[in-house]
Amino acid sequence: MQQPNAILTDTLGRTHNYLRISLTEKCNLRCTYCMPSEGVQLTPRQHLMNAEEVYEIAKVFVANGVDKIRLTGGEPLVRKDFRDILKRLSSLKTTLSITTNGILVDRFIDDFKTYRLKNINVSLDTLDAEKFNHITRRNQFAKAYENIHLLIENGFKVKLNIVLIKGFNDNEIVDFIELTKALPISIRFIEFMPFDGNNWNKSKLVTQQDILEQTTNHFGAENLIKLENENNFTSRDYKISGHNGEFGIISSVSNPFCDGCNRIRLTANGKVKNCLFSNNETDILTALRNQESIEEFIAKAIYKKLPKRGGMNSFEQLNDPKQHSNNRSMITIGG
């Protein structure tokens, strides 16, 4: 890891070496927890980062200590210049990864290999084709599932991201963990989080305790192995004895990991968000286009970062729609 520069260290001493770059607000799915049913107002193209601007901004972050970049969206693979962006970023001394819905990955297998992108997170919220159609509003389950196996066959490190919603897919927890018996994958159960337009409320939450209860009831407590957490972890990881893969729980709402957060987000229109929950944004694309140094703007964004969940410290605040209607919908933030 490179030595972090002071501009990436916040007032609580958290250093930010992990940059998540949203390449687009567009997606070929319409997931209900990510995009409001009426859609979103897309940013005009001229106000979005082009390939060169993505690279120039990333280069500044890497020079100041970022050593991990994840490409997100929307769906990052729908960008027509995705290959160009990936090629440019591969020249930087940083680890590259991507979060995708998997629908288009078969078109980019060779590019991933060429430009050293090995870590791929695929969003898949259900193993039931009918449920998939319901939550994504698209009939693409077979393609997504086929491409997940294609990635595994080609030696990529694959994680499946599952947003759990009580009464919708919480009855599939065991089914997902069963996949780890034969497949060398990581299943990641993610709590449903509040964003503009996704009708979040606490009753839809599936907590870490809920997940572990289902797991031990099915597999037996004696077969549940707690794994060591990574540095700056988001996922609390577990493994079932004898399984090839593992599973993790990302409990951003009920059991957050804010103390060790090292993540910073860059939206497709060139604004820094210092926390997924925060509505505070700092425009660095305008500064770049004005040929100003963007480092002071990055430092300002990091300095404003609050201790926990963008300032939402209680369930009372989380339950207040005004708290998250001021934020973007998930698709325009970047996963």
Segment 47-68, tens digit of pLDDT: 999 999 999 999 999 999 999 9
Burial class (CB in 10 A: 0-12, 13-18, 19+), 322: exposed
Asked if residue 111 has pLDDT above 90, the reply is: yes
Which of the residue ranges 35-49, 208-222, 271-285, 297-311 would you say has the lowest mean pLDDT?
35-49
Percent of the chain with pLDDT over 70: 84
Span 140-159, mean pLDDT? 97
| pTM given for the model | 0.88
Per-residue pLDDT band at 86 (split at 50, 70, 90): very high
Q: Which residues pair with 96 in a beta bridge?
A: 69, 117
46 vs 197: CA distance, rounded Å: 26
Q: Where are the alpha helices (DSSP H) in 77-196?
A: 82-89, 109-114, 129-136, 141-153, 173-182
Predicted pLDDT of residue 1? 42
Predicted pLDDT of residue 116? 95
Per-residue pLDDT band at 2 (split at 50, 70, 90): very low
Highest-confidence segment of 10-19, 198-207, 310-319: 10-19
Pairing of strands 68-72, 95-100: parallel
Predicted pLDDT of residue 311? 53
Residues 154-165, buried b or exposed e (16+ Cβ, 10 A)? Answer: eebebbbbbbbb
Span 19-41, mean pLDDT? 78
The token pair that represents 305 in the structure block = 């970062």
Asked if residue 74 has pLDDT above 80, the reply is: yes
The token pair that represents 121 in the structure block = 């997170």
Per-residue pLDDT band at 27 (split at 50, 70, 90): confident
| Helix, strand or coil, per DSSP, at residue 26 | coil
Span 205-211, mean pLDDT? 92
Segment 282-321, tens digit of pLDDT: 999 999 999 999 999 999 999 989 887 665 555 565 655 5
283 vs 287: CA distance, rounded Å: 7
- The number of residues in the chain equals 335
The token pair that represents 77 in the structure block = 């693979």
Per-residue pLDDT band at 201 (split at 50, 70, 90): low
Asked if residue 3 has pLDDT above 90, the reply is: no
277 vs 234: CA distance, rounded Å: 15
Residue with the larger pLDDT of the pair 257 and 13: 13
